[in-house]
Amino acid sequence: MSDSTQVYRRVMRRETHSPRSVSAVIAAIVLVLVLLAALVGGIWAAVDGAFRATALKASSQVFETLGNSWVVAIAVLLTVVALWLILLAILPGRKRRHATVAGRVALVIDDGVLADGAAYRAAHAAGVPRDQVSATVARNRVDVRVTPISGVSVNQGAVTRAAAEEMRILGSNMPVNLHVEDRGVIA
Amino acid sequence: MNATNRGMNRFVLVFAGLVSLLAAGALLVAVTPNLQELTRVKSWGPPTFHRVMSWTLPVSETQRVAMAPIIAVAVAALVVLLLIKFVFSRGGGRTGTVLSIASDEGTTSVASGVADGVIAAPLRERHDVIAAHTRAFIVAGEETVHIKIRTRRSTDLSQVVETAQRAVAEWDGLTGENTPVVLQLVDRGVRDSFRSEARVR
């Protein structure tokens, strides 16, 4: 990595974390609508006494019609929404991706693609069809599950090494946990 | 990847969350006598309201106008304008130029389509690549090439990355510059999972 260090660091951070743009824009639009309604209503009530009286009567009627339990339910709903919004703002919002600098380029790979790569290598090393290998990529490790062919043993060291080598080439030095099923299947 | 200010996204979320909490609290206090007693809102609420509303300024020799509603309207209008500006300022950062080389004779600009032809085209030629396309963004003041690649299931990813690295090296040789390049391998979509493993031309 040369003078692109700063760019790559920024890109990798942005590509592996959620921007929260959609939820922020929805929250902003709702706020704008509520504030506009309050503004128009407030100004209208300030200059028109008749409207003010009608609005006050209507709002008290709404409270009466709804009843206390419904108002409490709305308040609870608003609290849940508030907590959800604050959590969205505070939590890092990691995406299921891994990023690294691989030689000349910044490499960003979805975890599903990494898992597919590990499974492909593991299947090749184990000598089983690709459908008999599944892999999941967590934040700091790769789990590979191999269902062997009945009566044919799997070289666990070779499979683990192959999957780990694929991870290394793709810039993610995560440890590989291999699990070989006890019961094989007929290929 | 775009130029959205993400800190501002989170600030708006916190702001909206606090407004919702405030509204929920106000509703609860309005209908729960126990909370009204606990917060003693009836003892300090009306006097505070009258004190705030008593702040007036003269508009003529005989008339005075309360300032609090005017300030509230002004603040609400300002918040509305800022929020509208916020909504329309999301995204951006894309550029049609991946490289600008200034010299005494002038400036040479390279369009992002050229990068797509040099870097993404060799990837699209591969049978195990479903799609590859290039976009250019300004990141930290630098033009950055972003290549998004979608591969088939059971693809030798190291070979795909190697092909991309070779294409980038060719791009470097062509331009004589080290433009930052981001290579992204993305998951297949639901539609892609129904595609055939083989590519027929």
Instruction: Give the mean pLDDT of chain A.
Output: 90
CB B172 within 8 A of CB B147: no
- Can you give the pLDDT at residue A1? 45
Contact A106 B158 (CB under 8 A): no
Which residues does residue B135 pair with via DSSP β-bridges, in sequence order?
A: B146
Side chain identity at residue B134, one-letter code: T
What's the confidence (pLDDT) of residue B195?
Answer: 59
Nearest CB partner across the interface for B184, out of A63, A108, A117: A108
Split at pLDDT 50, 70, 90, the class of B199 is low
Q: What is the DSSP letter of A130?
A: G
Query: How many angstroms separate the CA of residue A164 from the nearest CA in chain B?
Result: 13
Q: What is the 3-state secondary structure (H, E, C) of A27-76?
A: HHHHHHHHHHHHHHHHHHHHHCHHHHHHHHHHHHHHHHHHHHHHHHHHHH
Task: Identify the closest residue of chain B to A91 by CA–CA distance.
Answer: B10
Give residue A52's pLDDT: 86
| Residues of chain A positioned with their CB less than 8 A from the CB of B171 | none
- The span from the CA of A166 to the CA of A135, in Å, is 13
The predicted-structure confidence for A68-97, as pLDDT tens digits, reads as follows: 889 999 999 999 999 999 999 999 999 999
pLDDT, tens digit, 9 for 90 and up, residues B105-144: 888 888 888 999 999 999 999 988 999 999 999 888 888 9
Q: What is the pLDDT of residue A3?
A: 67
Least Cα separation, residue A183 to chain B (angstroms) = 24
Instruction: Compare all CA atoms of chain B with the CA of A120 and give the residue at the minimum distance.
Output: B154
pLDDT band at B196 (very low <50, low <70, confident <90, very high): low
| Side-chain half-sphere exposure of A166, counting CA atoms within 13 A | 30
A130 contacts B140? CB cut-off 8 A: no
Entry pTM: 0.81
Mean pLDDT of the region B50-74: 86
pLDDT of residue B28 exceeding 80: yes
CB contact under 8 A, B9 and A71: no
Please report the residues numbered 94 through 123 in chain A whose beta carbons come closer than 8 angstroms to any beta carbon of chain B.
102-110, 112-113, 116-117, 119-120, 123
Per-residue pLDDT, B192: 60
pLDDT bin (cut points 50, 70, 90) of residue B46 is confident
| Segments in chain A below pLDDT 50 | 1-2
Of the candidates A72, A104, A109, the beta carbon closest to that of B31 is on A72
Beta-bridge mates of residue B186: B150
Average per-residue pLDDT for chain B: 87
CB contact under 8 A, B90 and A78: no
| Window A:117-156, CB contacts with B under 8 Å | 117, 119-120, 123, 130
Q: What angle do CA B126, B130, B131 make, to 5 degrees?
A: 95
- Between residues B164 and B62, the one the model is more confident about: B164
Set of chain A residues whose Cβ sits within 8 Å of the Cβ of B32: 68, 72
Three-state secondary-structure class, residue B144 = strand
Q: What is the pLDDT of residue B61?
A: 82
